[in-house]
Amino acid sequence: MATATTHAEFGLHTTAFDVAAAFPSAIAGKTILITGINIKGLGYATAEAFASQKAELLILAGRTPAKVQECADALAKQYPDTKTRVLELDLNSQKATRAAAATLNGWADVPAIDILVNNAGISNVGTDRQVNADGLECQFATNHIGHFLFTNLIVGKLIAAAQRPGAVRGATRVINVSSLSANYSPIRYSDINWDKVNGTIPLVEQPNYAEFALLWGVDEDAAKSDTYISIAAYGQSKTANSLFSLGLNQRLYDKHGILSLSTHPGIIATELSRVVPADENEARLESFRKAGKAVKDASTGASTTMVAAVDPALTLPTRRPLAGEEDIVKTSKEVRGEDGEWEGRGVFLSDCQILENTRVWYTSWSQGEKLWAKSEEIVGQKFAL
């Protein structure tokens, strides 16, 4: 049976609290880890929603301990029945990510994690490419590689949750917060770090020039002769988030009953844009509004994450092999079958529902396998789950 959501009426204006209230039994008593926590962001809005329905323990992870502790203190005051633990996690460093995973794995009093929400992310890093200590473009490093490594290193705690007596298949979940910016760029397997001129790499790896030119005013011809385009590099990292969910499903669903889904939270005025001057950021948001795009607050932005994390109707995305690699650049509307299904349908949610119009490059199971192999190569470790 095709995957679907329980509440077709949920949508653009649904809040994270609305979703949590609809599925209290999927939350109460659970241990949940959320990455990327700050008081004004999606991570905190997600944590609040889980706490509102009596989650047992919220593990709050972030790179700035003071900001994470601020969130823990606020939650303790408002929701005293939900315990919190703080975990320092810098996803831009593989060494720091390994240290955080080792710390978490050493918590004997937290034997299992029911839901992992990979929410952390960076964007708007400037026009010049930034490379981290591991030699990786920083958005891809933080948004994907850090989460890929961290999740694989702590997967034992997820498996422990899924193997509890009476555990329901698909209730243990990994949610990867992506973005519709995935439409901007496929994975550049031949040029992950954006070293080469865009127009010289294989066509199936080139950015979607028309897509980001429309919203960001980037000149298409100039983009083809350029190397690094920050917003397209962000798009590559968001494509990776969705494909990572497919890679996890390939390894964890049949064997352990663990489900992974990805989400687009929407356009939200959060600290993700903190490096952008306030007047410039507001002008950008206003341009989105003029283009007919809704700008959400944190709670309506976190609602899709909540649906992905707790709606029991959601299940394994569609498996349907592509006709050929040329289909990678197509949209789901171009490749769907007569039954309305296409490769990977159900892996990506937006406005609390399955997104029915995606690029194949971020819903393809085969691309998920290709990215998994590339990610293992980057971190220098293979994971047998």
What per-residue confidence (pLDDT) applies to 287? 57
What per-residue confidence (pLDDT) applies to 202? 95
Question: With 90 as the cut, is the pLDDT of residue 243 above it?
Answer: yes
Q: What is the distance, to the nearest Å, from the Cα of residue 290 to the centroid of all Cα atoms in its chain? A: 27
- Per the DSSP assignment, residues forming a β-bridge with 32 are 58, 115
- Contact (Cβ atoms closer than 8 angstroms) between residue 161 and residue 345: no
Give the three-state DSSP class for 115. Answer: strand
Give the three-state DSSP class for 233. Answer: helix
Exposed/middle/buried for residue 25 (C-beta within 10 Å: 0-12, 13-18, 19+)? exposed
What per-residue confidence (pLDDT) applies to 282? 57
What per-residue confidence (pLDDT) applies to 78? 97
Q: What is the pLDDT of residues 272-303, one digit of tens each?
A: 444 445 555 555 556 555 655 678 999 999 99
Q: What is the pLDDT of residues 30-86, one digit of tens each?
A: 999 999 999 999 999 999 999 999 999 999 999 999 999 999 999 999 999 999 999
What per-residue confidence (pLDDT) applies to 280? 54
Write out the two tokens for 245. 């969910």
Torsion 154-88-25-9 (CA) sign: negative
Instruction: Look at 215 and 369; give whichever has higher pLDDT.
Output: 369
Local confidence band at 212 (pLDDT 50, 70, 90 cut-offs): confident
Mean predicted lDDT score pLDDT of the chain: 93
Local confidence band at 239 (pLDDT 50, 70, 90 cut-offs): very high
Q: What percent of the chain has pLDDT over 90?
A: 85
The angle subtended at Cα 271 by Cα 287 and Cα 208, nearest 5°, is 50
What per-residue confidence (pLDDT) applies to 273? 46
Q: What is the pLDDT of residues 197-209, one digit of tens each?
A: 999 999 999 999 9
What per-residue confidence (pLDDT) applies to 146? 98
Local confidence band at 128 (pLDDT 50, 70, 90 cut-offs): confident
Q: Spell 260-293 as b/e; 16+ CB within 10 A means b.
A: bbbbbbbbbbbebbeebeeeebeebbeeeeeeee
Q: What is the mean pLDDT of residues 124-147?
A: 94
Question: With 70 as the cut, is the pLDDT of residue 14 above it?
Answer: yes
Q: What is the pLDDT of residues 307-360, one digit of tens each?
A: 999 999 999 999 998 878 889 999 999 999 999 999 999 999 999 999 999 999
